[in-house]
Amino acid sequence: MKTLVRFLNVKSGATAVEYGLLASLISVGMIVGLGGFSDSLVTVLDKITTAITTAPN
């Protein structure tokens, strides 16, 4: 029982875990955000390409 209480009272390493969780949350947010942005960018670039190729010489 003493070992369990001592283990629960140890705070070292908690900050590293918190930073790791924060970094992973930011990474997931960036991946989701960039996924939507890239789809929009592809659509805009496709429209530009179509406009350029169908323009009269």
Token output for 41? 């960018």
Q: What is the pLDDT of residue 8?
A: 72
Integer angstrom CA distances of residue 26 from 4, 12, 22: 33, 23, 6
Q: What is the pLDDT of residue 42?
A: 93
pLDDT of 53 strictly over 80: yes
Residue-range domain boundaries for the chain: 30-57
Q: What is the pLDDT of residue 28?
A: 95
Of 2, 24, 40, nearest to 48 by C-alpha is 40
Q: What is the pLDDT of residue 22?
A: 94
What HEC string does 4-53 produce?
HHHHHHCCCCHHHHHHHHHHHHHHHHHHHHHHHHHHHHHHHHHHHHHHHH
Q: How far apart are CA 23 and CA 52, in angstroms?
A: 42
Question: pLDDT tens across 10-43, in order?
Answer: 776 777 788 899 999 999 999 998 988 898 999 9
